Structure 1
Amino acid sequence: MQVEETPLKDCYLIKPRIFEDKRGIFLETYHRERFAELVRIDTEFVQDNQSVSSHGVLRGIHYQKGDFAQTKLVRVIFGKVLDVVVDLRPDSPTYKQTYSTILDDENLHQLYVPKGFGHGFLTLSEKSVFAYKCDDYYKPGSEGGIIFNDPDLNIDWNFPEEKMILSEKDSVLPTLKATFG
C-alpha cells in the first residue's frame, strides 16, 4: 500500500498493492495496523456504506457536524467517479480548499477523508458502485451540505451541469458562504 498526501491537510490518497495473474486480481482494501502505520492515524471504522449510481449522478457535497463528524475511507468497487472533498475545518491551513481525483475500478485508489471535510462524487461511467467506511454512525440531525456548484469553491466537475442528476435535497443545499461565512 502506498500513501500519498493530497494538497489538503490530513487527506490522503491510498494506492493499494495489486496482485495480478491469469485468474484476475487480488488486493487488500484495508488493514488497520498497516494503515495506522502509514497514515499515522489509527481510525476505528464502525459503519460501511455502499451506493449504486448511474451516469451523471452527483451525490454531495455532504458532511456530518459536531460530535457526529465522520472520517471516511472511500473507494469505487465498479465504475468511475470524480471524487471531490472540501476542507471545512476553520482551524486548518487548507480551510475552504478543494481536492478532486478519479476513483475507479482500474486504479483502485482510495481516499482518506478526515472529520470536518465535505465530500461528494459524480459518476462518470454508465454505473458506479461506491463504498465507504465511516468512523462514526450516521446521524440524520447532524448532516449538512454545500451546493455542488458553489461559486466560491469553483469546483470543476468536468461534466455538463444540465446533464447532472441530483436528489432534490442536494439540488437546494446552501452555499459555503451561507453556512460558514
Structure 2
Amino acid sequence: MTLPDGARSLFELGAGFSPSEPISKVTLRMVVCSLHELQDRLHTKARDEARNRCEQHQVGTIPVPPLPQPFFGQQEHNNEVDVNFRMFANETLKVLNHYHAKRYSSNHTLVQKRGMRAVRELMRLKTIRLCVSGKGGEFVVIPHQLDVEITKKHLEDASLYRPSSEKEFKSKYRKLNNE
C-alpha cells in the first residue's frame, strides 16, 4: 500500500506533534452552543435537586411526571447557577476572542495539509486504519482488509475470547471501572 507523500511527511512529525490552527468562526459557534447546552444542563440539575429537596419534605404528594415540554424556552433564573456560569462563560469567551484576534497560522506545510486530507479520506473510505503504537508512539497504518482479517483471527482464538453471561460482564465492568 502506498501513501501520498504529504501523509508520509505528516506521520514523520510523530504522535506527540500538536497542530496549531487558527480559531475559526465555526469553532467559536461550537463553543457558544456548547456553553448554552451546559447552562441548560446546570439549570435542569439545579431544578431537579430543588424538587428532590421539596419532595423529601412533602410525603404523600403526587410527583410531577417527567414529560418533555412542548418547546424549549428560556429556563427559570437560578442565581446560584447563573452567576457562576456567567463568570465561567465570560472568561472562556474572553480567552477565545483573544486568540481569535491573534490570527495564528497553521504549523503544517501545504504538503502536510494535503496529506492530512488524503489520510482522512482513506480512513473515511475504510481503505486504511490508523492507530498509534503502544510502545514507541509511532503511527501505524494498516490496510483495512488486513485489519479485518487480524480481528477475525483474534476472535476465533478461544483462549482470548469466550462467551460470558450478563452477570459476569457487569461484574468485570464494575471491577475495571472501580464501581
Structure 1 length-normalised TM: 0.19
Choose between structure 1 and 2: higher helix proportion: 2
Q: Which has the higher contact order (CA 8 A, sep 6+)?
A: 2
- Which has more strand, going by share of residues? 1
